[in-house]
Amino acid sequence: MSKYFNLSSEEWLFKEIGFKPAKQGHYESLFTLGNGYLGVRGSLEENPHHSYRGVFIAGVFDKSEGYVNELVKTPGWIDFVVTAGDTRFAVDHCKVLSNERILDIRKGVLHRCTRLKDNKGRILRFESRRVVFSHQVRGAILDINITPENFTADVTIYSGLNGDVTNTGYFPNERVKHLNLVTMKRENDLIYLEMKTRDKGISLAIAATTVFKNPPQNVIDVNRMYGEKFAQVISFKAEKGKTYNFNKWISIFTSREGYERQLHATSTDLLRDMVHEGLDTQLKKHIEERDRQWQLADIEISGDKRAQKGIRFNLYHLMIAKPHHDPTVSIGAKLLTGEGYKGHVFWDTEIFLLPFYTYVFPEDAKRLLMYRYYTLKGALKNAKDYGYKGAKIAWESADTGEETTPAYGLRADGSSVKIFTGDEEHHIVSDVVHGIYKYMRASADDDFLFNYAAEIVFQTARFWLSRVEKRRDRYEIRKVIGPDEFHEHVDNNAFTNFLVMWHLEYAHTLYAKMKKEAPDILQTLAKKIKLKPDEMEKMKIISKTIYFPYDQKTELIEQFEGYFTLKDASIKKLNKQGLPEFPKGIDCDALECTRFIKQADVVLLLYLFLDRFPPSVKKKNYDYYEARTMHKSSLSPCIYALMGLETGDHKRAYDYFMKTSYIDILDVNRNTCDGIHAAANGGAWMTVVHGFAGMRVRRGEICFDPWLPQKWKQLNYSFFWKGSQIAVSIARSQIVFSVLSAKSKNINVVVQGKTIRLAKDKQTKVRLKKVN
């Protein structure tokens, strides 16, 4: 076995011990491998019954008979089956004597060792190591050992490409076929499969070869076709106690990247190049790239092993999701780890994921925002379809930016229910602009702002000009859904109204900035989108007169107009996962009549605009809504962790952080089989860096005011600030800064209200007043 497959230390490992068929989907999501281009669920090589296996390629969407445009499940390539006579050595055909799988998140390698016993008493040990390369996004490998422990027999290996794949349909047990076979090609040293999506016409090409290391004599190696499955079939006599090793190499290309006419040549050339360079060379390059990324992304927590493991799990999934190869794709709510939400992009990306990328991989953050620019045409169409002006960002977006939210969903009993989020959850329009604003604060990337983002800002602001209504001498926004989706068709949702107020204000400010600093670009843009000065004045007026439901006496923000008139009750009991349970007597089919809320709404508003609300308002509203929030969304606990730290509720903040970090590891919501919760991944990072480290941008400066949990002895991480990379180490009595790379001579930080100038070539130590 290659030395590069040696396991990392225990804190980097996630394990499955034993085999539980009902947990297959859970582990397949947890053990996903990826590189931003390719996501491969951690399913077993023999493709057992009830597997939720899936291979996904960023940006490959199709509709066919599907209800909406969705991320396509592409041909599988991990298929590797061992047979002896009529025995198929697989977990669903044999007795599983032992099974251990280990995901090494530091190296990005999935290890497996399974011992199987057939009905004749024959025992086979099956070992595999799987890698989706980080240095070469279109390449992957399976390294496999098989050992017949107590028998000698003629065995046959089926190492295949599986084009017989479908997506989950709308109705129970319905399947949707998105791919048609184009060609299969047998070549002396490889097999080649090419398929094409039925609606979009995107071609997918996969080349594979299985190299038998040190084969015995009389090996028969042929390529066989089984409908839309294509396998390299290797037959030989396996001797008792002897281990046989195979390397299965994969290369994948699509026509989306401009390889329409060269798919066969590019995929087979890459495959042959990788095989020629060899396993150790490819693994070395892969691990070097992984190390480079971990040096940027890692967070070290000393003194709390559980917190350390949890945060690294979330960092791992954020790292393997970043689409560094393509600015025309974004990150879906389930990353590339499953079919949940059909691969669609939500507000999760800008509000919960973008902060991580902004401070750790700023170029990738810009690419995520460029996705909104490249799909602006779809957003313009959305607004027009709804009878509005400007650009309406889709609540669920795929490859075009057009609204892809399903109109109906299914209840547990099979009946349908109308989905209103695409029609009413319009706050995403300003969530995206807030993401632009957050990126700009940290990057100062005026080229991006003026040449790309400004068009998004102005066109989406234009949408609000046509969306707001003037009633009772004020501007209102009626019939919306806020972040709390228990309540639909509400008027004047505080989160939405305040965000729109800020959005219009920001658009007006940006216009003035461009008029002063980039008049030629502004003139060209204004001509392109027919932007007029009187529109900007209207934005300014509306931003000052939008209704905001706030009671000055109680200092409570009413979540939406009429919320305080609803039936009131508070949470009294938590379940085994530490999440709220509804009190007895509450009709869960009529939650819209109660003050219970699904997730952070007003509290999220307070977090996004910390400096616009006094401490007393933040504290009173946190306490009020925390007692009524059911956390039925993975987006919610991290916000209460952050605001718990802001308002002094430290114990609860730590608990919320741990819930966020382990939401998928423990399958808290019982739906991890559908894919990893991306927002929780980003929320875990936000809680550590913006919460416990207290790193926030205030008045244009990067500020620190940390609070460490009792167990934490030290917290280390690095971040980018306006092009410079800075490492920070926080202990109880001091914080230490090291400038790793400097874009400017003067780099200032603010620590507990005091401005500190950082020197490039030496550490800067600052004593802290108090960390606990």
Q: Which of 761, 746, 675 is nearest to 70 (CA)?
A: 675
Six token digits for residue 409:
């969903």
Q: In the beta sheet, which residues pair with residue 245? A: 145, 213
Q: In the beta sheet, which residues pair with residue 109? A: 104, 131
Residue 176 parent element (H or E): strand 175-176
Rg (CA), the chain: 27
Residue type at 251?
Answer: S
**Total Cβ atoms within 10 A of residue 111:** 20
Q: Please tell me the distance from the alpha carbon of residue 262 to that of residue 264, in angstroms, as a whole number.
A: 6
Residue 767's Cβ-side half-sphere holds a number of Cα atoms within 13 Å equal to 1
Residue 324's Cβ-side half-sphere holds a number of Cα atoms within 13 Å equal to 19
Alpha helices in 444-586 (DSSP H): 446-448, 454-467, 494-517, 519-529, 533-545
Six token digits for residue 442:
């940290």
Active-site pick, 16, 45, 339, 485: 485
C-beta of residue 301 within 8 angstroms of C-beta of residue 715: yes
Q: Please tell me the distance from the alpha carbon of residue 405 to that of residue 419, in angstroms, as a whole number.
A: 8
Q: 146: helix, coil or strand? A: strand
Residue 737 parent element (H or E): strand 734-741
Euclidean distance between the first and final Cα of the chain, in Å? Answer: 48
Q: In the beta sheet, which residues pair with residue 196? A: 180, 203
Q: Which of 492, 457, 493, 499 is nearest to 475 (CA)?
A: 492
Q: Is 363 a catalytic residue?
A: no
CA 596 to chain centre: 28
Q: Please tell me the distance from the alpha carbon of residue 200 to that of residue 336, in angstroms, as a whole number.
A: 20
CA 577 to chain centre: 23
Residue 389's Cβ-side half-sphere holds a number of Cα atoms within 13 Å equal to 12
C-beta of residue 743 within 8 angstroms of C-beta of residue 723: yes
Q: Please tell me the distance from the alpha carbon of residue 640 to that of residue 630, in angstroms, as a whole number.
A: 12
Q: 234: helix, coil or strand? A: strand
> Which own/partner contact pairs does 283-288 have at CB distance under 8 Å and 24+ positions apart?
283/2, 283/4, 283/5, 283/131, 284/4, 285/133, 285/135, 285/136, 286/4, 286/107, 286/108, 286/131, 286/133, 286/134, 286/135, 286/136, 287/4, 287/107, 287/108, 288/135
Q: 247: helix, coil or strand? A: strand
Across the chain, which distance is largest between two alpha carbons, in Å? Answer: 90
> Which own/partner contact pairs does 415-423 have at CB distance under 8 Å and 24+ positions apart?
420/481, 420/488, 420/489, 421/395, 421/396, 421/481, 421/485, 422/394, 422/395, 422/396, 423/386
Among all residues, which ones are annotated catalytic? 485
